[in-house]
Amino acid sequence: MESCIQFTNQSQGRDRILRATQHACALANYLLRNEPSRQKLLMKLQSLESNMSSGRKLFRLGNTINSIDAAKRTLVLSDPILRCCLTVANLSRALYFICDNVLWARNIGLVRDINKERWSLNATRYYFVSLVMNLTRDVYMMAQLMVQRSRDRCYQQKLHQHLNENPDVACVVVPQLDALVFLLIECLKSNPAVALDTVKNLCDLFSPLDRLGVYQTNAGVVGFCGLLSSLLGILSVLKPQLKIKP
């Protein structure tokens, strides 16, 4: 109970709940789109999805400053690859929030003389760059973990045992590939935060890819991936040990 109260008291927690609800509505709308008897329900779901989106935009008004502050902190990281990836990701995220704030002001009538489509497209581009940089960080950290793990004597014993217990896979296919897959699985099992963040970023990637026309899917796939990403985000907030660092 205490963890739930602490979660809902955090702005990140509230945003994750709104996001999960928004994508759940989008997924339900897609699944029920061809059922005439559910038209009233569809209208309610669309209205709820719109309200969740508006609420999230309101909660994100101060996130630009947070992203710039995060970029300042990542500038002092000793690892040059992590420093580059995370700084670019945070700056891109700050630009995304600026565009998002302008679009929010446009929707409520505070500003009018702007090209909504252009600002929305720019926001999607900045969001895409941020996700790509975060995924690059995930792959880099995974590679580092695999190198460290491969040098561990305990792991070498487990690998030798695995290859002996699976002679068909090890000898008939490719021993090096089997060992690489085994190493990857071992690293992800021992470092669930990296695995969770990678899956989360991959799920988030479908939305900007679809909007930019790079890889077009449908509202159902985007809604499902967004819902899964939101649930993983909720899990990382509830359990801080599952949040990737840095």
Structure token digits, residue 232: 């993983």
Question: Above 80 in pLDDT, residue 8?
Answer: no
CA distances from 210 to 202, 217, 228 (A): 13, 6, 17
- Where residue 192 falls among pLDDT bands split at 50, 70, 90? very high
Q: Average pLDDT for residues 38-66, to the nearest whole number?
A: 89
DSSP state of 37: G
Q: What is the pLDDT of residue 142?
A: 93
Q: Average pLDDT for residues 3-8, to the nearest whole number?
A: 51
Backbone φ and ψ for 174, nearest 5 degrees, come out as -130, 110
Q: What would the pLDDT profile of 74-106 be if each residue is shown by its tens digit?
A: 999 999 999 999 999 999 999 999 999 999 898
- Where residue 151 falls among pLDDT bands split at 50, 70, 90? confident
Q: What is the pLDDT of residue 10?
A: 65
Task: Tell me the C-alpha distance between 231 and 225, whole Å.
Answer: 10
Question: Above 80 in pLDDT, residue 177?
Answer: no
- In one-letter notation, the amino acid at residue 123 is A
Q: What would the pLDDT profile of 54-80 be if each residue is shown by its tens digit?
A: 888 888 888 899 999 999 999 999 999
Structure token digits, residue 112: 């009018």
Q: What is the pLDDT of residue 152?
A: 73
For residues 212-242, one letter each, b for 16 or more C-beta atoms within 10 angstroms of the residue's C-beta and e for the rest, the string is eeeeeeeeebbbbbbbbbbbbbbebbeeeeb
Q: What is the pLDDT of residue 163?
A: 62
Q: Average pLDDT for residues 229-238, to the nearest whole number?
A: 92
Mean pLDDT of all residues belonging to the chain? 87
Q: What is the pLDDT of residue 60?
A: 83
- Where residue 6 falls among pLDDT bands split at 50, 70, 90? low
